[in-house]
Amino acid sequence: MCELLGMSANVPTDMCFSFTGLTRRGGGTGPHKDGWGVAFYEGVGVKTFHESLASADSRIAEIVKSHPMKTEVGICHIRQANVGDVCLANTHPFIRELWGRYWTFAHNGQLQGFQPAAGVYEPVGSTDSESIFCDLLNRLRGSQPRDLSESALVDFLVSNSHTYAQQGVFNLLLSNGDWLFTFCTTKMACITRRAPFGPARLRDEEMVVDFGTETTPNDVVSVIVTDPLTADEVWDVYAPGEWRFWRAGEVVQQGQVDVPTHPSPSASQ
């Protein structure tokens, strides 16, 4: 299956450590060789890198690893294709503008035969993931006011994620740069690092970082992934149907809905 990586922090933080661990799984220690992408928010702007090649062998990924790009919200995806060609248009995360903000979406799973609602947002590629993203934004734009409250937004995201999850495997990362929404149907885990910080070792690469030398006592950094990236830390595993709404490294809302039982997805668009 494809793998997801999200980060929420209360200060601009680089993703080099986590990004290194994830991208090794893209054709190196894992089978996710059909493309990769990452998005870093800088205020209301977003910096992105995408390739339809294996991230483990990518010179562009090497540049991202070695040049710390600090952000408070980041989303990354490595792809193992099932439906849809292996091409740049089908690499996550997908990005669209809504209400003066860039919204970023990455999905792990499959909704076979998904038919999006008509609207101003249309998919460029041929994945169900991008179609779901366009469908979600069309429904949001068509049914909610621009100034909807945060609680109303969360209710909308949870309700629609629940609907999508009835149709197939739907593991989600979604952000507009201010917050990060996560939804799990099969597999997701997270960790929040705060003082006192210590060292951590990647599972997929000979790399150890002592976060105590890289942070201040006030820093809070949360990482959300498909499968834990480190071997010596305790990760919090999501339950099926669990969702969390993150801001500045903290969970500000969370809950759980009933979802069908699915096997872990073998691939994602």
Angle of helix 150-165 versus helix 128-143 axis, rounded to 10: 140
- The yes-or-no answer on residue 76 being catalytic is no
**Which one of the listed residues 2, 76, 184, 190 is annotated catalytic?**
2
Please provide residue 44's backbone torsions phi and psi, each rounded to the nearest 5 degrees.
-90, -5
One-letter-per-residue 3-state SS of the chain: CCEEEEEEEEEEECCHHHHHHHHHCECCCCECCCCEEEEEEECCEEEEEEECCCHHHCHHHHHHHHCCCCEEEEEEEECCCCCCCCCHHHCCCEEEEECCEEEEEEEEEECCCCCCCCCCCCCCCCCHHHHHHHHHHHHHHHHCCCCCCHHHHHHHHHHHHHHHHCCCEEEEEEECCCCEEEECCCCCEEEEEECCCCEEEECCCCCEEEHHHCCCCCCEEEEEECCCCECCCCCEECCCCEEEEEECCEEEEEEECCCCCCCCCCCCC
Catalytic residue IDs = 2
